[in-house]
């Protein structure tokens, strides 16, 4: 199979970016990377009936932070899109079906069928609309898919999350261009995996700029005051922090890794890599 990973975008100005912005670290970090390109930024957060509705609330706070990073020169807007009618159609996945327990390791039942394709279709429709009245504008649609998402799994018989793969995105981008006016085909789709980045590499670059804001992102598939530490996404979050050599200052309900490496705080656990642990736990206990 053709290896399409590891190319960097050549950004044509002026530009607009439409970002699928979930409130998780992957999309937050990748969006932050794009801020420096100087394109107007349109964030889209989807409520699709997911159990973790908290991610929508988190996305609003992260939007405020991104505005601070962008300063005056870039226009940033945030829309929350309600496509919760999809919960009746996507009703076989662990992320939506309340009768299904969330597993701690990858299962195909975690995957929401072509969720990214649905969201990228909406985001691309919006991007085409944004550039429709100005022929100088170029559109970039971005989302947080990284190389771990598309790693090969026996259970899946291919990439774990197929719509995170570069092959899927290359073909989708080609389809979107064919499916709209030739004069408006200035649309590209980008993600960390297309630039050859893993989850750890994406968040490593982001931490240098965002520092502690990275802990405000939400990875957990469950709702709650803190990350559960038991679901696949919490476990991947912790692993990525370790791999990126970044302190993990997330508060988890249960340790998502080696229990001996975690310190109990009033309502959860923090990994010992968190240098600000004492300050952090003291503040947390005051709340």
- Residues engaged in binding Zn ion (CB under 5 A): 220, 228, 231, 234
Contact (CB, 8 A) for 122 and 44: yes
| Smallest separation, CB 160 to Zn ion (Å) | 17
- Choose between 49 and 229: whose C-beta lies nearer to Zn ion: 229
- Choose between 213 and 231: whose C-beta lies nearer to Zn ion: 231
- Choose between 76 and 220: whose C-beta lies nearer to Zn ion: 220
- Choose between 127 and 231: whose C-beta lies nearer to Zn ion: 231
- Choose between 141 and 231: whose C-beta lies nearer to Zn ion: 231
| Smallest separation, CB 20 to Zn ion (Å) | 21
Maximum distance among all Cα pairs of the chain, rounded to whole angstroms = 59
| Smallest separation, CB 219 to Zn ion (Å) | 7
- Name, in order, each residue with C-beta under 8 angstroms of 272's C-beta and a sequence gap of 6 or more: 261, 262, 263
- Choose between 204 and 238: whose C-beta lies nearer to Zn ion: 238
- Choose between 115 and 227: whose C-beta lies nearer to Zn ion: 227
| Smallest separation, CB 232 to Zn ion (Å) | 8
| Smallest separation, CB 221 to Zn ion (Å) | 5
DSSP string, the chain: -----S----PPSSEEEEEE--SSHHHHHHHHHHHTTT-EEEEEEEE-S-S-THHHHHHHHHHHHHHHHHTTSS-EEEEEEE-GGGGGTSTTSTTT-TTSPPPSS--GGG--TTHHHHHHHHHHHHHHHHHTT-TT-EEEEE----TTTT-EETTTTEESSGGGSHHHHHHHHHHHHHTS-GGG--EEEE-TGGGT--HHHHHHHHHHHHGGGGGGS---SS-SSSB-S-SHHHHHHHHHHHHTT------BSS-SS-GGGEEEETTEEEETT-TTHHHHHHHHHH-
Contact (CB, 8 A) for 166 and 5: yes
| Smallest separation, CB 155 to Zn ion (Å) | 20
| Smallest separation, CB 128 to Zn ion (Å) | 36
């Amino acid at each position: 199979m053709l290896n399409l990973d590891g190319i960097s975008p050549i950004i044509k100005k002026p530009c607009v970016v439409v970002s699928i912005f979930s409130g998780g670290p992957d999309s937050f970090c990748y969006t932050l990377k794009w801020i420096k390109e100087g394109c107007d930024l349109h964030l889209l957060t989807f409520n699709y009936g997911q159990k973790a509705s908290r991610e929508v609330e988190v996305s609003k706070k992260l939007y405020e932070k991104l505005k601070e990073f962008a300063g005056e020169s870039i226009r940033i807007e945030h829309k929350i899109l309600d496509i919760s009618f999809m919960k009746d159609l996507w009703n076989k996945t662990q992320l939506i079906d309340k009768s299904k327990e969330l597993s701690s390791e990858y299962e195909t039942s975690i995957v929401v069928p072509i969720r990214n394709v649905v969201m990228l279709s909406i985001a691309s429709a919006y991007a085409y609309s944004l550039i429709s009245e100005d022929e100088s504008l170029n559109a970039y649609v971005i989302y947080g898919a990284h190389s771990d998402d598309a790693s090969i799994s026996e259970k899946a018989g291919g990439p774990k999350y197929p719509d995170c793969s570069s092959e899927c995105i290359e073909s989708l981008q080609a389809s979107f261009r064919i499916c709209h006016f030739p004069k408006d085909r200035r649309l590209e789709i980008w993600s960390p995996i297309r630039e050859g980045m893993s989850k750890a590499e994406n968040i490593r670059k982001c931490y240098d700029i965002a520092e502690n804001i990275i802990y405000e992102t939400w990875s957990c598939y469950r709702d709650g005051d803190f990350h559960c530490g038991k679901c696949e996404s919490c476990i991947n979050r912790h692993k990525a922090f370790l791999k990126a050599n970044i302190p993990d200052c997330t508060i988890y309900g249960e340790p998502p890794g080696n229990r001996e490496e975690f310190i109990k705080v009033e309502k959860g656990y923090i990994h010992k890599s968190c240098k600000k642990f004492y300050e952090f736990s003291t503040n947390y206990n005051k709340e």
